[in-house]
Every structure is written in C-alpha cells, then in structure tokens.
Amino acid sequence: MTGQDSARQDEDFESAIDSLEQQLSMLWRRARANSHRVAREVHPDMEPAAYGLLTVLQREQSMRLTDLAASIGVGKPSVSRQVAMLEQLGLVSKETDPSDGRAQSISLTELGLQKLKSAQAARRSAFVSRLEDWSVKDLNSLAGLLDRLNRS
C-alpha cells in the first residue's frame, strides 16, 4: 500500500466517523424526544428518566433502591427522588423488604404496570409503522450492528 492509498483510507475512515457521529447524534435527539413522549403516555407528570426505572421494575418485579440505582448506573439520590415521584403518581409502591426489615422493596403498582404496558404497546406500534417497509434482513442487520456498538 502506498502512502497515498494510506492517506485516502485515513480520509475515508474520518469521513465515515463524521457521518456516523452525525447520524448517532440525530438518533439520540430523536430518542430523547421519544422518551419524553412515552413518559407522558405513562403519566403527564412523569420525567422521561423514570420510564427506565419502570421497565427495570417490570423485568425484576421488585428491587431495593440501591439495586435499582446500580442497575441503571445512576446515583441513589436521583433514583430516590424519581421513585418518590413515581410513588406519588401511584405507579410504584414501597414495602418493607422481608429479608431485611430496614430496607424497602420497590415494585410497580397495578396502575403502573397497566400504564407502562399501554405506553410500550404505543411505542412498539410506532416502530412497526416507521419500519414496516424494511426487510427482516435489514432489521436484523441494524439490530446486530447496534448490539455491536453497544458492546464496544
């Protein structure tokens, strides 16, 4: 490979990185806007970041605050504030942890689960309508590439 070929490859790589950065920035902006919309579908007063807490609780059924904070990589004070807000909205409840009377276990209320499932159905419907003309091969390819990016 000549120096000129190497320089061209470097330029191509830099151009590809620039394009990727632009597309990911647009994707993240749209994802944030979507998070706001989905959170409002659960409850008009819910913060977008709290949606992630609800999905973790849906998967795990019940968790201590410390474990919930660790699972999403956010500090305990932030999660505590969001859990308090979700509790006020009637979406989660706290109960004394049977294995440790000093700790509390947080779980979705029936209303929280119902609202979350409704928002998830709307979100899935939006994905289907936006991607219905994509081939299964393209969808799987994109999912695989995003998985690779998320792991790197």
The structure tokens 């790589």 sit at 13
Instruction: Provide the pLDDT for residue 7.
Output: 66
Q: Which amino acid is at 78?
A: S
Instruction: Provide the pLDDT for residue 2.
Output: 66
Tell me what percent of the residues of the chain surpass a pLDDT of 70. 95
Is 3-151 a domain of CATH 1.10.10.10? yes
For the stretch 17-28, pLDDT in tens is 999 999 999 988
Q: Tokens standing for 103?
A: 């700790």
124 in Cβ contact with 84 (< 8 Å): no
Choose the weakest-confidence range: 2-6, 79-83, 103-107, 128-132: 2-6
The pLDDT of 47-72, averaged and rounded, is 90
Interatomic CA distance for residues 104 and 99, integer angstroms: 10
Partnered with residue 64 across adjacent β-strands are 105
Interatomic CA distance for residues 95 and 100, integer angstroms: 11
Instruction: Provide the pLDDT for residue 4.
Output: 65
How distant is the alpha carbon of residue 103 from its chain centre? Answer: 26
pLDDT above 90 for 90 = yes
For the stretch 66-75, pLDDT in tens is 899 998 888 8
C-alpha dihedral, 38 to 43 to 48 to 54, nearest 10°: -90
pLDDT above 70 for 94 = yes
Q: Where are the alpha helices (DSSP H) in 43-135?
A: 48-60, 65-72, 76-88, 110-131
Q: Tokens standing for 111?
A: 């209303």
* Domain range summary for the chain, segments of one domain joined by +: 3-151
Q: Which amino acid is at 1?
A: M
Give the model's confidence band at 3: pLDDT under 50 very low, under 70 low, under 90 confident, else very high. Answer: low
